[in-house]
Amino acid sequence: MRDARDAEDALLLETGDHAQLIAAWYPVIIQRCLVRAGEAGYDVAHDVVERLLAELQRGRRYPVPYRVVVHMVVKWTLGEHFQGRPTDVPLPDGWDAAAAENGFQSFEERFDLERLFEGLPEGDRAVCRLRYIDGFEIAAIALRLGMQRNAVDQALYRAHRQLRGLANAS
């Protein structure tokens, strides 16, 4: 999925559609800033977006994929936000380091799946979201969508066939 995302970013950079490029990355920027800076994360995210847009408007080109640029600018801006402030604040009780490390990865995986499912018809897309993103069993999907279990199986089959066709085409 990263290759397709990188290709889309490169196309948006070439066409100068900076607003669309930033909009595509905005959920990632907000998520990282809120996780690291709490409520101040909105202000930090605003600074990140301003910084990215200023560089793009100056015609800046990058030798790395744009996703790398976004993550580095977020890192630098967060570093500037916390500069001179104590960062050894105790963690909340029950905080799970393993879950925190995987939180961003799961966000990106969900985002990639959502983008993958965009090309599917609405009914098949709803079934795929419930199955692969929300983790519902087939019987639960059928109950939730008011469908027969066989209809859910058929929707998954159609979606798999269409997604396989897309993978083979690229």
Would you say residue 116 has pLDDT above 80? yes
Site of tokens 């961003």:
104
Render pLDDT for 126-137 as a digit per residue (tens, 0 to 9): 999 888 888 889
The predicted pLDDT at position 88 comes to: 54
Q: How confident is the model at residue 149 (pLDDT cuts 50, 70, 90)?
A: very high
How many CB atoms are closer than 10 A to CB 88?
Answer: 4
Tell me the residue range of the domain where 132 lies: 102-170
The alpha carbon of residue 84 and the mean position of all alpha carbons in its chain are separated, in whole angstroms, by 31
Site of tokens 């690291």:
36
Domain annotation covers residue 95: no
Domain annotation covers residue 90: no
pTM for this one? 0.49
Q: Are residues 80 and 108 in the same domain?
A: no
Which of 85, 115, 140 is the endpoint of a domain?
Answer: 85
> Number of folded domains in the chain?
2
Q: What tokens appear for 169 in the block? A: 């085409």
Domain annotation covers residue 49: yes
Render pLDDT for 68-113 as a digit per residue (tens, 0 to 9): 888 888 888 888 887 765 555 565 666 665 555 555 666 777 777 8
Q: Are residues 7 and 53 in the same domain?
A: yes
Per the CB < 8 A criterion, the answer to whether 24 and 8 are in contact is: yes
Per the CB < 8 A criterion, the answer to whether 141 and 148 are in contact is: no
Alpha-carbon distance of 141 to 26, in angstroms, equals 31
3 state SS of 129: helix
Q: Where is pLDDT greater, at 169 or 41?
A: 41
Render pLDDT for 9-40 as a digit per residue (tens, 0 to 9): 888 888 888 888 888 889 989 888 888 888 88
Q: Which long-range contacts (CB under 8 A, 24 or more apart) does 50-58 make?
A: 51/77, 52/22, 52/25, 53/18, 53/22, 56/13, 56/18, 56/21, 56/22, 57/18
- CATH number for 77: 1.10.1740
Domain annotation covers residue 97: no
Residue type, 19: A
